[in-house]
Amino acid sequence: MSTPVIEAPGRAPAPQKRVGGGLLDPRQLIASLPAALAKLNPVHMWHNPVMLIVEIGAVFSTVLAVAGPSFFAWAIVVWLWLTVIFANLAEAVAEGRGKAQAATLRAAKRDTTARRLVNRADPDRWEGVGAPELRQGDFVVVEAGEIIPGDGDVVEGIASVDESAITGESAPVIRESGGDRSAVTGGTKVLSDRIIVQITQKPGESFIDRMIALVEGANRQKTPNEIALNILLAALTIIFLVATVTMQPLAIYSKADNPGIPDSLALNGNGVTGIVLVSLLVCLIPTTIGALLSAIGIAGMDRLVQRNVLAMSGRAVEAAGDVSTLLLDKTGTITLGNRQASEFVPTPGVSADELATAAQLASLADETPEGRSIVVYAKQAYGLRERQPGELAHAEWVQFTAQTRMSGVNVDGRRVRKGAATAVMKWVRDHGGHPTDEVGAIVDAISGSGGTPLVVGEAVDGRARVLGVIHLKDVVKQGMRERFDEMRRMGIRTVMITGDNPLTAKAIADEAGVDDFLAEATPEDKLALIKSEQQGGRLVAMTGDGTNDAPALAQADVGVAMNTGTSAAKEAGNMVDLDSNPTKLIEIVEIGKQLLITRGALTTFSIANDIAKYFAIIPAIFAAVYPGLDALNVMRLASPQSAILSAVIFNALVIVALIPLALRGVRYRPSSASKLLSRNLYLYGLGGVVVPFIGIKTIDLLIQFLPGMA
């Protein structure tokens, strides 16, 4: 018994708003400040050892400032806390940039009532249930104007679907049962027709649920490279911690022989104060990269989201930067996926217009993409009026079957057939005709070029003949050759994978401009090829959309599944391209390389910073004890107190100054590794030395007249 449907009110979710990817907005800083303060919790700071040390130092300095208050002590305390807050602010801003995306996605998670089938065999018997009550294996019926209640596969019917809530694109897409375009996503809207969907998700684990968690960074795991860099930073921190601690006994010994050390630097008259030691430690350890490291990783994934690519892990983004081999599925990836009519080749004695008229007539009732393309091509290339099957009232339409391998029409004493070459030529012979050798030559030429030949024949008054051949072509997507040329410049080898025969595969490969191809490929062949490449030390990326691509997508270092593909493909890959544009992989690789370069550049800048800080703080502390060290005070800073406070202030401000670069990323230009290294060393290594000298000196000039700076 049917149950009325209670439709969720409102329109389909609006397209996603793109989040800017570059400059830092002051309003964004203010909005992210509460999250930055919440991250002061030591439980959170534990995951960032460098900044945890800074926070402990800030707490220790606060206690000392309370015990022995002075303007200098409290100024240092304030800027130490600001250093920690600015570090958390960088991470909070990076996370906040995904919240707009997540908010839009949540709008797609509306309270939807689903029509769950009571009996799969009877689509008219259904019951109304809430979308959260759906389980894997349930079948639901969705009609025009209704929201698809959960992720699944279309098992019956074909419909136009609005996926703007997911992809941001307003153009609807076609989803149909069978093939590789059957997957649908919960929260999208059916615009036409009626489909039956089998639910494939578990409750709370829908595609949108996972997207929300990922764009908000809740499930972002550190990558191996990031973990290794954290270990390096922690090791440097420990080394500087030991070095700083050993300065206290040295200072106590020096104080005994040099009572002229300024009291503001002394602790009970017996050495360098704890506040100064903390300042020295904070300025020497790599706080800049320690503060920005997490933001760089989050921003890398966010840049992918802005390009409608969902990365399931930071590891995949990082691996994309080192990819050297790219495997692409031909159908739907390099080509449009639907063979289209590109030429009518008539036999001798038959005019092109005559062949076009017969081809169009035989295709009027053919609803396949190939059949529709023949009708459209006849109209566009030969100016034939597009007719409808209903206009031929007495026509007898012959449907295509696997046994006959041809289709056509019988009308007004004329029989027209269109189909496989062998089938149509046999039909012509059976009806008294004699196909000429020219037909076989035309068929062989089209097959050799990678196309699909369809022969058109007719029988009138007991005489049958072949009119010509339709050339169906698997059309390469526009701009593919240019894209592959760009990949080649990036040092990436492209391999096309297809189930076509070698002749067809070679023709498509040559037209598209790929480096190599694998023809007549089975899922096992794809998997073997990926393993072979990986055993050679190469990182492999693959795009695909079909269930048969799933094993290879799972094995690849970077597996990019098309959103139009099957659920199995999307589950197997570690990235999903929401636009289903295989050329997007170039952008993915560029973002991966940009992530690695940005991390390396800021690490270089951070470590180079220490050189200037050495020249600022070490002479300030010990010049009074060892006058020879005054020669290292190349910046001619006003006083030891001013030098130390200037270095601490610069150390905090440089974090904020570098947040836009961490979020936007260092610009990637295709070039060799040696050139990239040289550029980083010159720009960020040398810059990391020069900028602190300028910054610290400028701050010193501004604060030298403050109380306690003399």
Indicate which residues carry an active-site annotation.
329
User: What's the CA gap between 483 and 514, in Å, rounded?
Assistant: 10
Annotated ligand binding at 407? The verdict is yes
Annotated binding residue 406:
yes
Is 418 among the annotated ligand-binding positions? Answer: yes
Do 424 and 453 contact (CB within 8 A), yes or no?
no
630 marked as binding residue: no
How far is 463 from 465, CA to CA, in rounded Å?
A: 7
240 is in an annotated binding site: no
Instruction: Write the DSSP symbol of residue 405.
Output: -
> Which residues lie below 8 Å from residue 69, measured CB to CB, with a gap of 6+?
none
For residue 668, report the phi and psi dihedrals to the nearest 5 degrees.
-95, 130
Tokens at residue 285, please?
């350890």
**Which residue in 143, 140, 156 sits closest to 193, CA to CA?**
143
Backbone φ and ψ for 408, nearest 5 degrees, come out as 170, -155
User: 403 labelled as ligand-binding?
Assistant: yes
Q: Which helix (H) or strand (E) holds 311?
A: strand 309-311
Burial of 645 (0-12, 13-18, 19+ CB in 10 A): buried
For residues 340 and 470, the answer to whether their CB atoms sit within 8 Å is: no
Check the CA dihedral 223-224-229-233 and report its sign. positive
CA distances to 614, 649, 655 from 604, rounded to whole Å, are 16, 20, 14
405 is in an annotated binding site: yes
AA identity, residue 618: I
| Residue 366 marked as a ligand binder | yes
> Strand 158-162 relative to strand 189-190: parallel, antiparallel, unpaired?
antiparallel
> Does 545 count as an annotated binding residue?
yes
Q: Which run of H or E residues covers position 636?
A: none
- φ, ψ (nearest 5 deg) of residue 601: -65, -45
Residue 469: name the closest of 445, 434, 449 by CA: 445
Task: Mark the binding-site residues, compressed into ranges.
Answer: 366, 370, 400-407, 418, 545, 549
Task: Mark the binding-site residues for ATP, compressed into ranges.
Answer: 366, 370, 400-407, 418
Task: Mark the binding-site residues for Mg(2+), compressed into ranges.
Answer: 545, 549
